[in-house]
């Protein structure tokens, strides 16, 4: 049997011959699609828009350093930006569970537990960052009011959770600082006791002032001693003997001045004699020791003031309920449903039915022509049909 050539007109002829099949298939499929689209539940989408949270900067200096100490288990934000963290919190299980409980979504979605409700809520929620850098929360629900309420609830839950996190961080930081205050107070008492003991032992009450007075007195004694030695030379030049009352008195005065200078330089050699002057020979070492002790007391005192200041700041932050989120656009009940898109469903179903009908006609025609060509091809087709029947 000769092979027939198939041209475009043959295809149009086949389609026109099967026009009733195509027509009724189109009608049936579109009607079923329309009925199906009417059965599908309506969903409304509401959108909430908020400004991204800004990274707050604590006080400068020591307080800033304390605020960054890892003293809390809720040390969020070690790597992500505030925007990334806000989006992560919005998508967290904690926020979703709070919304599921608030709106009783387990019953609403007709599921058995929270996990199944959370999976559905996750599909119905979209949280993203717009190209302008704003955080957008889109929620779908079966009623306009519920969609708007759930979208706003997401933002409210984020704000509440951030407040709780900040308060717990402040509490942990306050506990840490309080412990440091107790340790610093003990160190300060010990430093003050060491300074007091040093002052009582060395009589270096204020070495700087005592040394300045001692140098001034020593200079005056040196000047007086030089004058008296000159006077003694004059007396001796006049042949006054050492037994002369004037010379003897002057020698006693010179001896007294020399003893005073010796005491000023090396300390008093008389036991039990108190002196307010620090020996000049010991002054450098005593001054250094006094400076170290006083510096330690001053540093610990300043540290205590800073710790107490930051402790009070942390205590205030524990009760801070100021909102951390700024709404740009609150979610409002939408006027139109978001899905199902019934027209689109019917159009796609109708177009699909026409395509399926045409493909079916062409396949049938192909096998019909194949069986008409030769006995060998007919035999192959029969074998294929038997093979398919056996497998089914």
Shared domain for 247 and 209, answered yes or no, is yes
Shared domain for 222 and 287, answered yes or no, is yes
pLDDT score, position 59: 43
Q: What is the pTM of this model?
A: 0.56
Per-residue confidence band for 375, with pLDDT thresholds at 50, 70 and 90:
low
Answer whether residue 234 shows pLDDT above 80.
no
Q: Are 184 and 230 in contact (CB under 8 A)?
A: no
Residue 292 lies in a domain: yes
Shared domain for 299 and 325, answered yes or no, is no
Per-residue confidence band for 190, with pLDDT thresholds at 50, 70 and 90:
very high
φ, ψ dihedrals at 140, nearest 5°: -105, 135
Shared domain for 137 and 212, answered yes or no, is no
pLDDT score, position 189: 92
Per-residue confidence band for 11, with pLDDT thresholds at 50, 70 and 90:
low
Residue 335 lies in a domain: no
Percentage of residues in the chain having pLDDT higher than 90: 9
The lowest-confidence range among 86-90, 165-169, 312-316, 365-369 is: 365-369
pLDDT score, position 274: 54
Per-residue confidence band for 2, with pLDDT thresholds at 50, 70 and 90:
very low
On average, the pLDDT of the chain sits at 76
Answer whether residue 173 shows pLDDT above 80.
yes
Number of domains forming the structure of the chain: 3
Shared domain for 250 and 290, answered yes or no, is yes
Count Cβ atoms within 10 A of the Cβ of residue 171 and give its class: 0-12 exposed, 13-18 middle, 19 or more buried: middle
| More confident: 2 or 208 | 208
Residue 140 lies in a domain: yes
Shared domain for 72 and 213, answered yes or no, is no
Shared domain for 87 and 111, answered yes or no, is yes
Shared domain for 112 and 24, answered yes or no, is no
pLDDT score, position 359: 80
Shared domain for 360 and 379, answered yes or no, is yes
- Condensed to tens digits (0 to 9), the pLDDT of residues 245-297 reads 777 777 777 777 777 766 666 666 554 455 556 666 666 777 788 888 888 99
State the CB neighbour count (10 A cutoff) for residue 232. Answer: 18
Per-residue confidence band for 8, with pLDDT thresholds at 50, 70 and 90:
low
**Rounded distance, CA 109 to CA 95, Å?**
18
pLDDT score, position 361: 75
Shared domain for 35 and 55, answered yes or no, is no
- Condensed to tens digits (0 to 9), the pLDDT of residues 124-144 reads 999 988 888 889 999 998 889
- Condensed to tens digits (0 to 9), the pLDDT of residues 329-362 reads 888 888 888 777 777 877 887 788 888 877 877 7
Residue 158 lies in a domain: yes
DSSP letters for 223-241: HHHHHHHHHHHHHHHTT--
Residue 3 lies in a domain: no
Answer whether residue 75 shows pLDDT above 60.
no
pLDDT score, position 61: 44
Residue 85 lies in a domain: yes
Task: Give the CATH number of the domain where residue 174 resides.
Answer: 3.30.1890
Shared domain for 172 and 252, answered yes or no, is no
Range of the domain at 102: 44-187+320-329
Shared domain for 54 and 19, answered yes or no, is no
Q: Each residue of 142-163: b (16+ CB within 10 Å) or e?
A: eebebbbbbbbbbbbbbbbbbb
Per-residue confidence band for 71, with pLDDT thresholds at 50, 70 and 90:
very low
- Condensed to tens digits (0 to 9), the pLDDT of residues 17-67 reads 777 877 888 788 888 878 877 777 788 899 998 888 765 544 434 445 544
Rounded average pLDDT over 315-327: 75
Residue 334 lies in a domain: no
Answer whether residue 74 shows pLDDT above 50.
no
Q: Which H or E run contains 375?
A: helix 375-391
Residue 346 lies in a domain: no
């Amino acid at each position: 049997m000769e092979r027939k050539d198939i041209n475009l007109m043959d295809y149009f002829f086949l389609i026109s011959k099967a026009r009733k099949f195509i027509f009724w298939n189109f009608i049936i499929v579109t009607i079923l699609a329309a009925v199906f689209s009417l059965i599908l539940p309506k969903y409304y989408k509401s959108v909430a828009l908020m400004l991204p949270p800004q990274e707050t900067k604590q006080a400068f200096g020591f307080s800033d350093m304390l605020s960054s100490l890892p003293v809390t288990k809720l040390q969020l934000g070690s790597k992500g930006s505030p925007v990334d963290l806000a989006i992560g919190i919005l998508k967290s299980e904690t926020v979703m569970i709070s919304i599921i409980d608030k709106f009783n979504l387990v019953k609403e979605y007709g599921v058995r537990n929270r996990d199944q409700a959370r999976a559905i809520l996750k599909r119905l929620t979209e949280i993203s960052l717009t190209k302008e850098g704003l955080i957008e929360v889109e929620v779908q629900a079966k009623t306009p009011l519920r969609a708007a309420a759930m979208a706003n609830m997401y933002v409210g839950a984020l704000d509440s959770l951030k407040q709780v996190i900040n308060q717990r961080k402040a509490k942990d930081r306050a506990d840490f600082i309080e412990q440091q205050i107790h340790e610093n107070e003990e160190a300060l008492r010990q430093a003050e006791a060491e300074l007091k003991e040093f002052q009582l032992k060395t009589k270096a009450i204020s070495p700087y002032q005592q040394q300045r007075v001692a140098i001034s007195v020593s200079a005056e004694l040196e000047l007086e001693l030089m004058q008296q030695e000159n006077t003694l030379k004059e007396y001796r030049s006049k042949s006054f003997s050492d037994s002369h009352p004037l010379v003897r008195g002057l020698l006693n005065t010179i001896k007294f001045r020399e003893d005073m200078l010796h005491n000023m330089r090396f300390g008093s050699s008389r036991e039990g004699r108190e002196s307010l002057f620090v020996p000049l020979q010991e002054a450098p070492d005593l001054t250094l020791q006094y400076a170290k002790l006083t510096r330690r007391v001053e540093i610990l005192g300043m540290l205590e003031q800073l710790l107490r200041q930051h402790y009070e700041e942390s205590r205030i932050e524990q009760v801070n309920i100021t909102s951390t989120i700024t709404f740009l656009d609150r979610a409002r009940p939408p006027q139109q449903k978001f899905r199902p898109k019934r027209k689109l469903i019917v159009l796609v179903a109708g177009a699909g039915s026409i395509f399926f009908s045409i493909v079916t006609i062409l396949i049938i025609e192909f096998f019909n022509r194949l069986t008409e060509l030769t006995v060998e091809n007919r035999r192959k087709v029969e074998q294929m049909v038997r093979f398919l029947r056996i497998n089914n």
